[in-house]
Amino acid sequence: MPTDVRRLFEWAAAPDFNYREVNQEERASAAPRQWSALAATNRLLRERLAGANPRASGVPYRTFSIAVVSMSGGVGRTTVVANLASALSQNGRRCVAVDLDPQDTLGLHFGQHLEEAAGMSCEDPAAESQQLLVARARGGPVVVPFGKLDPAKLAMLEWKMTLERDWLRRRLDQAVPRDTDVLLIDTPAGQRPMVEQALSLCEVALVVLAPNVTSYSTLPAIEELLEANVSPSCTVRVLVNGFNATRALDGDVMASLRGVLGQRLFPQPVQEDEAVAEALGRLKPLLHEAADSQAAADLAAIAEWIETYAAARTEPGRFGPRLVARS
């Protein structure tokens, strides 16, 4: 990089800036040498990918479905689901976002009351439809909360799901309108029965990572989870959330991921943005509160990829023109 250009970025507090077009491959190979934790994870991941077994032969759900997963908490998985659902809805798509995380926080992005108990975990979600479809009246996506369960009932539910492998499909048939274009499923962190069932039904598995060593080190476990549960036709994509270009490790994590994952990785991460927390503080999606923020633009771009991919995988004409064209 020319000296004057480097000085400019140093002045802008981004001394580690690199031209991706020029040195992407060099940085992808150099990053593991600088960060030993990345090298150890890459070695395990390559071994697993080299010896991968054929994937499970699950049958996708009737609606184009996306399971959003992670092995560790705190990566912003629920925020991604909420804002993708919001973006798809703004584009005129009939979108349903289902919360399978017992923390039950997806609805908070759309003004859900904390005391609401109904949700996917109740015995008959269809009977509680007026409470479940919390965002439809506001012109947004349909949001199906998980519901409130005490620890004992949650343990019983998870045990039931290990015995009834079609539990989620039956619940979705009850709670999700048949004219839905895209179904987004928010799952809890880790390997749990609800995660396994969501992956077995989805056409896209969206893995969310934070640009740090803890999240990066979960990649081999994520790959094992995917091998055991997704169908051969399922597409896997990895998204880095909360990226800050001024941090050297963030850039090296992205470069190393590109070198290991290739096209599985979304080339554009979601930028770290204070507006994300502020929007949740107002119980609204980011795309409603700060549509001009960089994070909102990143999430909107991923929603557009979902639309394009879904249109190619579903019957012709199902995804018509958008109601709102983006400039």
**What is the model's pLDDT at position 97?**
94
pLDDT digits (tens, 9 = 90+) for 227-286: 999 988 899 999 999 999 999 999 999 999 999 999 899 988 999 999 999 999 998 889
Q: Which residues of the chain have pLDDT under 50?
A: 17-22, 127-131, 137, 325-327
**What is the model's pLDDT at position 122?**
77
**What is the model's pLDDT at position 29?**
81
- Cα separation, 183 vs 88, in Å, equals 10
Q: Given the structure tokens 């060099």, which residue do they identify?
A: 26
**What is the model's pLDDT at position 317?**
62
**What is the model's pLDDT at position 19?**
45
List of E strands, the chain: 64-69, 95-99, 142-144, 182-186, 204-209, 235-243, 270-271
- For residue 214, count other CB atoms closer than 10 A to its CB: 13
322: left (phi over 0), alpha (psi -120 to 50) or beta: beta
Say if residues 146 and 102 touch (Cβ distance below 8 Å).
Answer: yes
- Element spanning 253, H or E: helix 248-261
